[in-house]
Structures are given as structure tokens and as C-alpha cells.
């Protein structure tokens, strides 16, 4: 299949970093790709280049074969000719216009009846009826967010670009709108790129993931694939593998490999060859803690540890361990009580062979 969106670009900032983005995406109607990475990764820069607000020094952007930008051929389409819907972090609603005027802002070329019809259906779709005549300051954060989304959609965009759409909201509205936004994006049927640095948002919103770090695209694929099989250390870290350790493959038999990590030999279920230098990656959620004298379980890996620190995280507790190497686990508050976890106490950590990723 020919990818609908092809991006190969290089954007240099005077005295700053160079952003290099290379990606291909199917951009099918209603599909959502999340541009995910830490602050400063270059996500907003890629979005601005796609929108036509920034001009890359080198490269090209093709949408369904149409060149939006091709520095070699001297092609650069201005934003309005690309028909992209844009939503930025701070919504940037015009403060002196009503909600309805904001939504109709980009439609001045259309007859008044058509403008009214489009904004009426968007107010209904986004549950904003009754708020048409309010100014942005008379709307809640969540309502402003939806008015901004309505404005982005009013032009009937071919591609929707959302930059950290939920970051300006307080935590409860953010969690509520996360689920609602996913449903709405499916309903609109417009291919959408969403920028976020938030792992939960990436998981909640995305079908596909574009992992960016240090000004580069590191990995592109379905969200679950990138989260389960990161190809680079940077991607493993940002997708939540908190334990990352250097190791060496000792042997491989019957599909299982044995990796030397510090004083231990771990069993993993990944393709590898004896002698390979690897990084062993493990999620805190996949580590189970038990009493020091716990009976063996089916889990292949079983390490005696000492508790180094305990940090409460809501209903869970993050447990840093010394297993001869640093290891992180996460348990419920209940398990913490039950196991009597405290700094300096011995504990057994177990994890299954398939939980370990090698990078
Ligand atoms: P993200 O959205 O992932 O946080 P950005 O695309 O905003 O990252 O920025 C990527 C890098 O480019 C950062 O180091 C940032 O400081 C730099 N940068 C972005 N815009 C400019 C600019 N106009 N001038 C100079 N440096 C910039
Ligand atoms: Mg940004």
C-alpha cells in the first residue's frame, strides 16, 4: 500500500538543534497517529512543518501524492491550500469573538447559510449547544478545548493536527476528555496526528505511534507494537521500561536465551545469539515481589533483593530494589503492607521470561 503521508524533512534552528523527521503513515480516515516523545524532541516542529507554518531547509512532504513541500523542486504550499485543521496547546481562541464566531472564522469564503449549518452541526456533535454566544472567557477549559476542535474541523480538513490538546486542562477534565476525544476522532473520520509527551494519552488516543527523541524519529508502528517491542533504548525508556541494564547473551536453547546481567543469569524469550551485547529492559508492572522465603513459581526469573526505597504513587508504590543491579517494581499499597516492605528489608523479585525485552 502506498502511504498517504510521506515526510522526510530537516529543519535547522539558528544556534539550536536540527530536527530530522522521516516517516510514512497510512493516514486512513478516522485513524490517529500519536507523535510521542519528551519535551524538546521536535514534535511541535514536525507539526508546524506539516501545517505549513514552518519551512524545512531540506526535504519533502507528500499527502496522497500531492507535494505540500519539496525543497528540491521549490514547492511550498501555504497553510490554507493544505486544508489542515490545527489545534494548538493553548487553543488560541479569539477572545473578542463568540464561540460561534470562532468556529466560523475560517469560513468567510462560504455563504452565510453554509457557515451557519456547519457550525450548527459541529456544536451538536461536540455537545456545545447553547454556548454559541458565549465568549471564550465564559467557557470552561474543556468547553474551550471543544470549541477549538470545532474551529479546526469547520474547514473540513483533510488532515487534523493537534498539539498537546489536553495539556492545558486540569487532571480530572483531562482524564475525562481523553476518552471522549478518542471517540470523537473516530467519529470525525479525519486522519489525525496528535502530539503528546504523556504516555497515558499516547496509549488512549493512538492507533499508531511515532516515537521521537533528540530531534529524530526513532520508531513508527502500531501503538502496541512500539510499546511492546521498542527497537531503541530511547524508545524503551519513554514507553515505560524503568529497568534498563547492559547484559551479554551466554547461550540459547529451545527458544530461550540466557543473559548475564551483573551477578545473575536471566532467562528471556527473545531472539539472540550467544556473545551478543544487549540491553535488558523490564517494566516495573511485570515484576512480582514476594517474601524472601517464597516458594518457587512458574516465573523463570527469581532474584533475592534488598529494598532501596519506596515511593507512593496514588494507589501504587514504586519500589526501587538492589538485586546486585538496580531493579524497579510497582506494587499495590495492600501488597506493601502484606509483605512488610521497608527500606533495607529482603524480598524476592520474580518475573517471567516473556516480560523481558532485549534491545
Ligand atoms: P517538542 O514539541 O517535542 O517539545 P519542539 O519541536 O518545540 O519540541 O522543539 C524541538 C527543539 O527545537 C527544542 O530544542 C527547541 O528549543 C528547538 N526550537 C523549536 N523552535 C525553535 C525556534 N523557533 N528557534 C530556535 N530553536 C527552536
Ligand atoms: Mg511541543
> What phi and psi, each to the nearest 5 degrees, are found at residue 248?
-135, 135
Do 90 and 30 lie in a common domain?
A: yes
What was the pLDDT predicted at 89? 77
Do 151 and 256 lie in a common domain?
A: no
What was the pLDDT predicted at 1? 65
Query: What is the CA(256)–ligand 1 centre distance, in A?
Result: 43
Do 135 and 201 lie in a common domain?
A: yes
| Beta pairing partners, 246 | 279
User: Is any atom of ligand 1 closer than 6 Å to the C-beta of 17?
Assistant: yes
User: Is any atom of ligand 1 closer than 6 Å to the C-beta of 15?
Assistant: no
Ligand 1 atom with the smallest distance to the CA of 38 is: 3
Is pLDDT at 173 greater than 90 in this prediction?
no
Do 295 and 231 lie in a common domain?
A: no
Tally of domains within the chain: 2
Residue nearest to atom 14 of ligand 1 (CA): 40
User: Is any atom of ligand 1 closer than 6 Å to the C-beta of 196?
Assistant: no
Is pLDDT at 91 greater than 70 in this prediction?
no
Is pLDDT at 63 greater than 70 in this prediction?
yes
What was the pLDDT predicted at 334? 94
C-alpha cell at 204: 488512549
What was the pLDDT predicted at 3? 86
Angle 141-154/171-188 helices, nearest 10 degrees? 20
What was the pLDDT predicted at 239? 97
Do 309 and 185 lie in a common domain?
A: no
C-alpha cell at 126: 461536540
User: Is any atom of ligand 1 closer than 6 Å to the C-beta of 67?
Assistant: no
Is pLDDT at 85 greater than 70 in this prediction?
yes
Confidence of residue 159 (pLDDT cuts 50, 70, 90): very high
| Span 264-280, average pLDDT | 94
For residue range 280-299, list pLDDT tens digits in order.
999 999 999 999 987 888 88
Do 213 and 129 lie in a common domain?
A: yes
Write out the H or E segment, with its range, that includes residue 228: helix 223-228
CATH number of the domain within which 170 lies: 3.40.50.300
User: Is any atom of ligand 1 closer than 6 Å to the C-beta of 42?
Assistant: yes
Confidence of residue 39 (pLDDT cuts 50, 70, 90): very high
| Beta pairing partners, 35 | 195, 210
Do 61 and 198 lie in a common domain?
A: yes
CATH number of the domain within which 312 lies: 2.40.50.100
Interatomic CA distance for residues 102 and 132, integer angstroms: 9
What was the pLDDT predicted at 169? 82
C-alpha cell at 256: 530461550
Q: Which residue segment(s) compose the domain that 337 sits in?
A: 243-358
Residue nearest to atom 6 of ligand 1 (CA): 42
Question: 309: exposed, middle or buried (C-beta count within 10 Å: 0-12, 13-18, 19+)?
Answer: exposed
Q: Where is the domain boundary, 204, 238, 272?
A: 238
Interatomic CA distance for residues 275 and 278, integer angstroms: 9
What was the pLDDT predicted at 232? 95
For residue range 95-110, list pLDDT tens digits in order.
999 999 999 999 999 9
User: Is any atom of ligand 1 closer than 6 Å to the C-beta of 94?
Assistant: no
Confidence of residue 7 (pLDDT cuts 50, 70, 90): very high
Do 161 and 298 lie in a common domain?
A: no
Do 247 and 234 lie in a common domain?
A: no
Do 248 and 217 lie in a common domain?
A: no
Interatomic CA distance for residues 339 and 222, integer angstroms: 38
Do 217 and 343 lie in a common domain?
A: no
Do 67 and 189 lie in a common domain?
A: yes
Is pLDDT at 142 greater than 90 in this prediction?
no
Angle 112-125/141-154 helices, nearest 10 degrees? 140
State the complex-level ipTM: 0.98
Ligand nearest to the CA of 54: 1
Mutation probe of ligand 1 site: the residue of 45, 89, 165, 234 with most atoms within 8 A of C-beta: 45
Q: Where is the domain boundary, 238, 273, 288?
A: 238
Residue nearest to atom 7 of ligand 1 (CA): 44
Residue nearest to atom 5 of ligand 1 (CA): 42
Is pLDDT at 219 greater than 90 in this prediction?
yes
Is pLDDT at 354 greater than 70 in this prediction?
yes
User: Is any atom of ligand 1 closer than 6 Å to the C-beta of 38?
Assistant: no
| Span 228-255, average pLDDT | 95
Q: Where is the domain boundary, 203, 238, 273?
A: 238
Confidence of residue 59 (pLDDT cuts 50, 70, 90): very high
Ligand nearest to the CA of 43: 1
Mean pLDDT of the chain: 94
Query: What is the CA(297)–ligand 1 centre distance, in A?
Result: 49
CB 239 within 8 A of CB 210: no
> What phi and psi, each to the nearest 5 degrees, are found at residue 255?
80, -10
Amino acid at each position: 500500500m502506498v502511504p498517504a503521508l510521506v515526510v522526510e524533512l530537516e529543519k535547522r534552528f539558528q544556534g539550536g538543534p536540527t530536527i530530522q523527521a522521516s516517516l510514512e503513515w497510512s493516514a486512513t480516515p478516522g485513524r490517529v497517529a500519536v507523535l510521542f516523545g519528551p519535551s524538546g524532541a521536535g514534535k511541535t516542529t514536525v507539526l508546524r512543518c506539516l501545517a505549513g507554518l514552518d519551512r524545512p531547509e531540506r526535504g519533502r512532504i507528500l499527502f496522497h501524492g500531492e507535494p505540500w513541500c519539496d525543497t528540491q523542486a521549490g514547492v511550498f504550499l501555504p497553510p490554507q491550500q493544505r486544508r489542515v485543521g490545527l489545534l494548538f496547546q493553548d487553543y488560541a481562541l479569539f477572545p473578542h469573538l463568540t464561540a460561534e464566531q470562532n468556529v466560523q472564522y475560517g469560513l468567510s469564503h462560504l455563504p452565510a447559510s453554509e457557515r451557519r449549518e456547519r457550525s450548527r452541526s459541529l456544536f451538536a456533535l461536540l455537545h456545545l449547544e447553547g454556548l454559541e454566544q458565549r465568549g471564550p472567557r465564559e467557557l470552561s477549559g474543556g468547553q474551550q478545548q471543544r470549541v477549538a476542535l470545532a474551529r479546526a474541523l469547520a474547514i473540513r480538513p483533510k488532515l487534523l493536527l493537534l498539539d498537546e490538546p489536553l495539556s492545558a486542562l486540569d487532571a480530572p477534565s483531562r482524564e475525562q476528555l481523553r476518552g471522549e476525544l478518542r471517540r470523537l476522532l473516530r467519529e470525525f473520520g479525519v486522519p489525525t496526528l496528535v502530539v503528546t509527551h504523556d504516555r497515558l494519552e499516547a496509549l488512549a488516543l493512538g492507533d499508531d505511534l511515532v516515537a521521537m527523541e533528540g530531534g529524530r524519529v526513532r520508531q513508527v508502528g502500531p501503538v502496541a507494537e512500539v510499546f511492546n517491542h521498542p527497537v531503541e533504548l530511547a524508545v524503551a525508556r519513554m514507553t515505560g521500561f524503568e529497568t534498563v541494564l547492559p547484559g551479554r547473551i551466554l547461550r540459547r536453547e529451545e527458544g530461550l536465551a540466557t543473559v548475564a546481567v551483573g551477578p545473575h543469569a536471566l532467562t528471556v524469550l527473545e531472539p539472540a545469539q550467544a556473545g551478543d551485547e544487549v540491553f535488558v529492559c523490564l517494566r516495573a508492572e511485570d515484576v512480582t515481589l514476594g517474601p524472601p522465603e517464597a516458594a518457587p513459581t512458574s516465573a523463570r526469573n527469581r532474584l533475592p533483593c534488598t529494598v532501596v526505597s519506596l515511593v507512593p504513587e496514588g494507589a501504587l508504590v514504586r519500589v526501587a530494589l538492589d538485586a546486585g543491579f538496580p531493579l524497579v517494581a510497582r506494587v499495590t499499597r495492600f501488597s506493601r503492607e502484606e509483605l512488610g516492605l521497608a527500606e533495607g528489608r529482603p524480598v524476592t523479585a520474580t518475573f517471567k521470561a516473556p516480560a523481558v525485552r532485549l534491545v
